[in-house]
């Protein structure tokens, strides 16, 4: 089983998404956040299950699409780092 760690930015992203959705529906906000965390959990057993991020094209930078959101993670030896979570209408910026 591969260990999954969350970058502070990714945790902040999920909290921002939750707060935004909660303005219209607190219940939906919790569901969205729960689905994001659930999808990341599968990476413990299937780290290659996400696709390579098209903007980067490197095998070690992958993503899972959950609803309207992209969950970007980095494969490291023995660890997966969730890097960021953002709306799928945006492109990943490499600043």
Question: Full-prediction pTM beyond 0.85?
Answer: yes
pLDDT digits (tens, 9 = 90+) for 42-69: 999 999 999 999 888 899 999 999 999 9
What residues have CB less than 8 Å from 72, skipping those under 6 apart?
Answer: 53, 61, 62, 63, 82, 83, 84, 85, 86, 92
Domains of the chain: 3-87 (3.30.2310.20)
pLDDT digits (tens, 9 = 90+) for 25-39: 999 999 999 999 999
Q: What is the pLDDT of residue 63?
A: 96
Q: What is the pLDDT of residue 88?
A: 80
Place of tokens 């209408």: 89
Q: What is the pLDDT of residue 93?
A: 65
């Amino acid at each position: 089983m591969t260990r999954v760690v969350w970058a502070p930015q990714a945790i902040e992203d999920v909290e921002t998404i939750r707060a935004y959705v909660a303005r219209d529906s607190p219940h939906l906000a919790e569901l969205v956040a729960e689905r994001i965390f659930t999808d990341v959990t599968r990476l413990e057993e299937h780290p290659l299950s996400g696709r390579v991020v098209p903007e980067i094209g490197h095998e070690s930078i992958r993503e899972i699409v959950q609803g309207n959101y992209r969950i970007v993670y980095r494969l490291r030896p023995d660890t997966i780092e969730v890097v960021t979570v953002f709306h799928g209408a945006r492109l990943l910026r490499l600043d």
